[in-house]
């Protein structure tokens, strides 16, 4: 297997927890904030497109890295085929934020 080296890319500066206007999504913001603090629980965000799910996931990763904790953001929609191989290669350590789960719906692999 060819070893891949991660690129040191930065997320858009506006995608931060303190820049998220929660409106009716206060529980989602609180859950993500708790996950960043190491609550050690699974958290599943769901909602309509444009409600801030990706913003929260990226902001959580940023906050975790700023606190010197490991974090990884993975968009399943952006993984190259075969996705099953790419997903199997993810080494979760610390905060693992998986976005765009709908991209693999119906894919048995």
CA distance 71 to 61: 5
* Model pLDDT for residues 54-89, shown as the tens digit of each residue: 989 999 888 888 888 888 888 888 877 677 777 777
* Model pLDDT for residues 4-45, shown as the tens digit of each residue: 555 445 667 678 788 888 888 888 888 888 888 876 667 788
Q: To which H or E segment does residue 98 belong? A: strand 95-99
3-state DSSP call for residue 74?
A: strand
How far, CA to CA in Å, does 28 sit from each of 16, 62, 87, 89? 14, 17, 25, 28
CA distance 53 to 108: 25
Query: Both tokens of residue 72?
Result: 């990884």
3-state DSSP call for residue 55?
A: helix
Say if CB 55 and CB 75 are below 8 A apart: no
């Amino acid at each position: 297997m060819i070893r891949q080296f991660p690129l040191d890319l930065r997320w858009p500066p506006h995608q931060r927890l303190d820049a998220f206007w929660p409106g009716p999504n206060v529980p989602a913001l609180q859950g993500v904030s708790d996950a960043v603090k190491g609550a050690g629980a699974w958290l599943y965000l769901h909602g309509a497109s444009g409600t801030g799910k990706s913003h929260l996931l990226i902001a959580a990763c940023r906050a975790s890295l700023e606190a010197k904790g490991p974090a990884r953001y993975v968009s399943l929609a952006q993984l190259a085929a075969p996705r099953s191989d790419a997903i199997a290669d993810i080494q979760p350590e610390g905060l693992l934020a998986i976005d765009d789960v709908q991209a693999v719906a119906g894919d048995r692999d």
